[in-house]
């Protein structure tokens, strides 16, 4: 039980990008700064809209499609928006991205010393149990 807690319940550090960018980025549209320093959402037909206007539904309404999923490696805010087989994953700081289990597992091991400690303790315990079994048989 201790090992499961160590491996899966130790939280990551969360820090997010500007949430105003969420709707534009999760849908896969490009973001650029305009000459007057406004943030624009660039749509597939090369039309654009300020982030504020897009989020308020003033423009770009036809690009506010409901059925979408965020592909692997792309930034995500909503945990239920990753494509099938992916989940949001945040290594240390920044914004979460959609990743498969294998990437999440390896990244968590790489950047979380508590998980390494738990794995080492688990291996030592297994070694001790094997040693005791061998000693008892001889």
Residue 35 placed within a domain:
no
Residue 112 placed within a domain:
yes
Residue 114 placed within a domain:
yes
Do you know the residue count of the chain?
Answer: 138
Residue 47 placed within a domain:
no
Q: Are 13 and 93 in contact (CB under 8 A)?
A: yes
Output the CA–CA distances (angstroms, integers) from residue 83 to 41, 88, 108, in the order listed.
22, 10, 21
How many domains does the chain contain in total? 1
Q: What is the mean pLDDT of the chain?
A: 82
Residue 64 placed within a domain:
no
* Residue range of the domain that includes 99: 2-17+71-137
Q: Could you read off the pLDDT of 30-53 as tens digits, one per residue?
A: 999 988 888 999 999 999 999 999
Residue 48 placed within a domain:
no
Residue 9 placed within a domain:
yes
At residue 16, the pLDDT reads 54
Give the pTM.
Answer: 0.57
DSSP state string for 7-57: HHSSPPP-----GGGHHHHHTT-EEEE-TTS-EEEEPTTS-EEEHHHHHHT
Tokens of 61: 């309404």
Low-confidence stretches of the chain (pLDDT beneath 70): 1-16, 92
Residue 66 placed within a domain:
no
């Amino acid at each position: 039980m201790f090992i499961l807690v160590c491996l899966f319940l130790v939280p990551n550090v969360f820090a997010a990008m500007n949430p105003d960018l969420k709707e534009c980025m999760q849908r896969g549209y490009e973001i650029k700064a305009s000459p007057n320093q406004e943030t624009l959402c660039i749509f597939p037909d090369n039309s654009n809209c300020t982030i504020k206007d897009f989020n308020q539904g003033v423009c770009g309404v036809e690009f506010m499609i409901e059925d979408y999923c965020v592909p692997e490696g792309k930034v995500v805010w909503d945990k239920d928006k990753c494509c099938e087989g992916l989940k949001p994953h945040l290594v240390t700081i920044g914004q979460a991205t959609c990743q498969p289990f294998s990437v999440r597992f390896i990244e968590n091991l790489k950047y979380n010393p508590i998980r390494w400690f738990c794995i080492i303790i688990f291996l030592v315990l297994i070694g001790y149990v094997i040693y005791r079994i061998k000693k008892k048989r001889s």
